[in-house]
Chains A and B, each alone.
Chain A
């Protein structure tokens, strides 16, 4: 469960997140909003790459505001990046193993088993010895997810995992994301522009616009709301009326 209170981030005169207060307790939560709404900034704040000027964040009862980013990873706050971060000259296995090295496993064997399990889970079991440079875009995104599932993740934050994927790959991705809570018990926080993916995966969705909470609730209902449609999808009725 994520509890965010009065969170404000400021870059000079810009406030990408402005007094955000929200409690997210569903197992898969979607986050949508137009470009510049503060989605990635919120992820950066949660994972510790951006320091807020005000507000507090509590994840599963732990106040995380003061913890440095790599320690947040140890705590089980895991994230992926919009541009995937796969080391080209390591194999897929080594890429995932690099995360397992720092996930606090007691024995090597335990770590190896979990690496195998995570890779199998995202469906890349046949690619373990492929070098990072030779993976396709879809495979790279899935590898990123496998990396985020290592250890004992409590919160897995996915930043546009579906970008650049084909339709069939997206279907596979849906299944992978939906299964994460059952796989490791982690809550999933999903950012994507692909509304279909959000609808397919998320029980609950929050909408940001100019750093403020526009809507929060069951995904279908949220997407029906007129102000969400206006902010995110564009005001079709207004456009049609004008035409």
Chain B
């Protein structure tokens, strides 16, 4: 089946159509974020957006050109540094300093990229790592402008001076929106390039430099451009981080972070913009989540090694790649059905809980949505982890599950009950998701644990109830819709 799907011929879509999902998704995130999250989480997600932009440049270089750059986070440091210095020294407007920092980082990016014109693979990785280390050493010796006034910005004893955020985004909520919009712009630009001339040239270079040359592509120019553009966006992100905190210090951009960011970008997925958002979330949001629940956030690092291993074994597409594979199979009928039932359940539960005064509407609405989403995703993740222990084990488990389901279905049929044979799987799923998602959601959305748990179980029960009630009539409708609109996301990439 997977084979069949892969063979479908689908036009790649115009650049605008390929950029649109990024703008829409991040636009919605910018719009809804401040309304949903507590101050702590809003701050965390602002950082996530900054990191995602850096991850975007890592993914562009690795996914598009096959070049490993471990210096991107250090370039963010360069951008942030320049941005701060300019603001402290010359009181420039934030945007001007931001762009100036990005430009300087772009030049540095080009310098980092120069060896890449001759080197690949491990040697390039080592070289960029050295650059990252060098930036760290320089910063340690010279020091960031860490809060004093004047061009050098060194703190002299006494108060720290924070830089002003841009006037249109001085509050935390506004600054979150500001950063997410920059992220949308940055990722949008990367995707636009993937869909146009530079992207095609990069693809040829990745395939083989000889082939690219024979096609008339100037390998030198396109590689240099990728590094320059990557440096620009990374530097931009550094300036945004500086604006978030109002200051930076010399511990902000260590080499270890550069490596972690690279590894997690691979885990998130380098061939898809969603992957870099995952990378940002993994770097900052997961540790923050653990911290929020009184667990040491560094514990996440232990999990990352394992995650990297899994994603390398699973074909280097990362989390985003697997999500995209999943989307390719989704049918129109399920999307419509899902939108209708998910919307109905989540909105009514949101209204109910808000009405009872147990939680805000937005919080309840999103917890319910997340529960429904996890209900879909968790079984897939379980199979994926099983696959890690070997294809045979996975196959056997699938056979066993199929056999059990069949027995159960036959049993139900004999009893004349509703034809849902996935009862056992669902029950386990519910217990797990209820306990786990409630733990996450109670932190992020600031709701008592018991309320979150009730919400989650209620939403899943309501969804199943709706499904069962409508099942007989739904079947023919599904078939009719699928005939008219075959899998709409098959072209997704």
Contacts and interface: CB of A to CB of B under 8 A. Distances in A.
A87 B207 contact: yes
Contact of B214 (A47, A103, A129): A47
Interface stretch (B40-48, B105-113, B195-203, B296-304): B195-203
Interface in A52-69: 69
Nearest to A89: B203
Contacts of A94: 12, 200, 203
A221 interface: no
B211 interface: yes
Interface residues on A, range: 20 to 34
B204 A79 contact: no
A82 to B, nearest CB: 11
B332 to A, nearest CB: 20
A98 B214 contact: no
A94 B196 CA distance: 9
A210 interface: no
B11 A129 contact: yes
A85 B210 contact: yes
State which size class the interface on B falls in.
20 to 34
B210 A97 contact: no
Interface in A83-134: 85-91, 93-94, 97-99, 101-103, 127-131, 133-134
B427 interface: no
B204 A87 contact: yes
B11 A91 contact: yes
Contact of B10 (A85, A98, A129, A151): A129
Interface string B40-73: 0000000000000000000000000000000000
A141 interface: no
A52 B216 CA distance: 21
Given A129-B11, A130-B9, A134-B7, A90 B200 contact: yes
A74 interface: yes
A99 B200 CA distance: 9
Interface in B180-236: 197, 200-201, 203-204, 206-208, 210-211, 213-219
B6 interface: yes
B201 A98 contact: yes
A11 to B, nearest CB: 17
A73 B213 contact: yes
Interface in B463-493: 493
Interface of A: 47-49, 69-70, 73-74, 78-79, 81, 85-91, 93-94, 97-99, 101-103, 127-131, 133-134, 147, 151
20 contacts: A49-B213, A73-B213, A85-B204, A85-B207, A85-B211, A87-B204, A87-B206, A89-B203, A93-B12, A94-B200, A98-B204, A98-B215, A99-B216, A101-B200, A127-B9, A129-B11, A129-B12, A134-B6, A147-B215, A151-B216
